């Protein structure tokens, strides 16, 4: 255990799971407190690559029909490792009415499959509000891994200035926070959402929307994201961060020529 902590320190990564006490705290963790419970995986993900990854790349595929007609089509994403090798593929399931009239607020289901076509993660997004002026009924995702087993949620928290979210376990207990920048336009640079401990004292990772150039950002919906996390982070937390990445794409970066 000591050698593993030393390796994490050399990589500059925290040597504890979300919910454990900060290194500068000497109080022992209590299993009776929700904030001190590590998020454990009740059932393993089938053929999961997540346990070994410290960088997850998500590439949204270009929809030529939507680009030409200026209409909203179902999103598709390739999920890759740091070498650019595809490990998963995600497809949005939603009805045309929702995509047309609810636009980026639409309810949908994202099904994530491995390279053999087997579904390994399901992300459910209900129809919710998205406004800094509305402190109730905000955005939320449900994460199932494997499908049928709820392992966590991503929930938006009201804040008048910054985009804030929490990653929750299956009992809806907060275990991590995600804090975004005041401006998410990312005109000429990356947009970073920092993943922090509950008290926001320590940053353990980030979700980045990579700037792909002026032409791509203005004339297509194709976005590229990177999820930077400790390699030994619990796989269900990594699955929730993938879901959070999809949510950020819908909320902050989804557009079409019809809206220009």
pLDDT, one tens digit per residue, over 214-242 is 445 444 456 789 999 999 999 999 999 99
Cα–Cα dist 157/165, whole Å: 5
Consecutive H or E run containing 108: strand 108-114
pLDDT in tens, 237-249: 999 999 999 999 9
Is pLDDT at 24 greater than 80 in this prediction? Answer: no
In the chain the domains, ranked by start, together with CATH numbers, are: 55-253 (2.40.160)
Q: Which of 81, 142, 147, 83 has its CA nearest to residue 112?
A: 147
pLDDT value of residue 69: 62
Task: Report whether 71 contacts 255 (CB < 8 A).
Answer: no
Please give the share of the chain, as a percent, with pLDDT higher than 70: 68
Helix, strand, or coil (residue 43): coil
pLDDT in tens, 198-211: 999 999 999 999 87
Distances 183 to 3, 138, 198, 249, 252 between C-alpha atoms, Å: 41, 19, 23, 14, 10
Judge whether residue 21 has pLDDT over 60.
Answer: no
pLDDT for the residue numbered 255: 63
Single pTM value for the model: 0.76
170 Cβ contact list (under 8 Å, min separation 6):
42, 150, 151, 152
**pLDDT digit string (tens) for 45-92?**
544 667 789 999 999 987 766 666 666 788 999 999 999 999 999 999
């Amino acid at each position: 255990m000591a050698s593993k902590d030393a390796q994490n320190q050399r990589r500059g990564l925290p040597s504890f799971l979300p919910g454990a006490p900060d290194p500068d705290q000497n109080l022992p963790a209590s299993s009776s407190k929700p904030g001190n419970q590590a998020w454990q995986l009740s059932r393993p993900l089938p053929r999961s690559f997540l346990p070994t990854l410290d960088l997850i790349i998500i590439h949204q595929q270009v929809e030529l029909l939507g680009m030409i007609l200026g209409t909203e089509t179902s999103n598709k994403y390739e999920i890759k490792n740091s070498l650019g090798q595809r490990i998963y593929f995600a497809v949005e399931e939603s009805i045309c009415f929702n995509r047309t009239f609810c636009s980026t607020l639409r309810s949908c289901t994202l099904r994530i499959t491995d390279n053999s076509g087997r579904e390994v993660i399901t992300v459910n997004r209900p129809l919710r509000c998205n406004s800094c002026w509305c402190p109730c009924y905000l955005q939320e995702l449900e994460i199932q891994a494997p499908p049928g087993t709820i392992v966590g949620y991503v929930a938006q928290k009201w804040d008048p200035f910054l985009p804030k979210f929490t990653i929750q376990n299956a009992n809806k207990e907060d275990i991590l926070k995600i804090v975004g920048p005041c401006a998410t336009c990312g005109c000429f640079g990356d947009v970073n959402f920092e993943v922090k401990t509950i008290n926001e004292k320590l940053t353990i990772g980030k979700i980045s929307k990579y700037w792909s150039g002026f032409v791509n950002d203005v004339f297509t919906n194709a976005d590229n994201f990177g999820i930077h996390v400790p390699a030994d982070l619990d796989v269900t937390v990594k699955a929730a961060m993938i879901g959070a990445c999809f949510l950020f794409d819908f909320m902050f970066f989804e557009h079409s020529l019809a809206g220009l």
